[in-house]
Chain A
């Protein structure tokens, strides 16, 4: 949370920086516009939801996706910025996975868009590694003690995405309808897939 004065200061500094970089011939404002527009309009968790839904209906694709998330993205024609190595980790009745970047904010932009504020907050970054079950409970996710919780710390090289469990009762749904069950939070691991996603 910033204050209005702080925001004004940052806004002036950012404007000054952009103005200088344009003058030095390093940057074009139109290129900056394009980047921002892409992130605001085109990138987002609906991309990851496509991968999840496909994995739910197609076991061979799921196998390939778990071997290489990056290759699976290419298969579905998903590219986008920061297409670093994507590793998809699978939730099951025995294991629940959750993703973090303890040092900054590394996140699989290409499949989930930009991370939510809470993902970047100091509290989440440090607590989800130290006390994952408590953090998940605060997100409304109460896991049985018998379930193993695995926390994946993202880095510049490797970004993680969770393959949530397919919700019970969704057996008859078409792939496109399954996509609607996959929330961003379920692909970070702080929620489950299901209706109202």
Chain B
């Protein structure tokens, strides 16, 4: 059973108009990474948007009933955002999908109790680089 975060009060996630700005912490990290690299001038917005449109179009084609108001429970916007980001990084040879897959597997294999909310309160690479020694 997943514990629910505070819905109201100081511990609650940020909301605008009564809605969450980001549904999950990973969504905010995915968003922030793209914005940060774009702001640094690594890619034009159009370049990222093309990948985003392509990722969304793939889902739309596979779920034609969603366009007429049918079930779109499967539609997680930031999944497409992340897929678009990975596609851009791959195409620009900045980071390969194979690297991401390998690192994801490694993180998934971490012992329980490691996973904690990624609220950006620490630099992950810096704080955890020591975990891999001797592996």
**Is B76 touching A6 in the complex (CB atoms < 8 A)?**
yes
**Is A10 touching B37 in the complex (CB atoms < 8 A)?**
no
Q: Does A141 contact B (CB under 8 A)?
A: no
How many of chain A's residues touch chain B, expressed as a range?
35 or more
CA distance A94 to B57 in the complex (A): 35
A21/B72 contact (C-beta < 8 A), A26-B42, A126-B67, A156-B45 known: no
Within the complex, the shortest CB–CB distance from B81 to chain A, in Å, comes to 9
Q: Which residues of B are found within 8 Å of A184, using beta-carbon distances?
A: 16-17
Number of A-B contacts (CB under 8 A): 178
- 1/0 contact trace for B53-90 toward A, CB 8 Å? 10011011001001111101111111100100110000
**Is B125 touching A23 in the complex (CB atoms < 8 A)?**
yes
Q: Which residues of A are found within 8 Å of B24, using beta-carbon distances?
A: 2, 7, 10-11
- 1/0 contact trace for B114-125 toward A, CB 8 Å? 000010101111
Within the complex, the shortest CB–CB distance from A67 to chain B, in Å, comes to 24
CA distance A109 to B28 in the complex (A): 15
Which of chain B's residues has its CB closest to A6's CB?
Answer: B76
**Is A104 touching B52 in the complex (CB atoms < 8 A)?**
yes
Within the complex, the shortest CB–CB distance from A82 to chain B, in Å, comes to 7
How many of chain B's residues touch chain A, expressed as a range?
35 or more
**Is B120 touching A104 in the complex (CB atoms < 8 A)?**
no
Q: Which residues of B are found within 8 Å of A1, using beta-carbon distances?
A: 73-76
A113/B16 contact (C-beta < 8 A), A29-B123, A123-B72 known: yes
**Interchain Cβ contacts under 8 Å between A and B, 12 examples:** A10-B82, A15-B118, A16-B100, A16-B106, A20-B95, A22-B125, A31-B32, A31-B36, A39-B21, A45-B17, A116-B17, A126-B68
In order of increasing CB-CB distance, the 4 nearest A-B pairs are A32-B32, A16-B103, A126-B67, A11-B26
B→A interface (CB under 8 Å) = 2, 14, 16-17, 19, 21-26, 28-33, 35-37, 39, 42, 45-46, 49, 52-53, 56-57, 59-60, 63, 66-70, 72-79, 82, 85-86, 94-95, 99-100, 103-104, 106-108, 118, 120, 122-126, 128
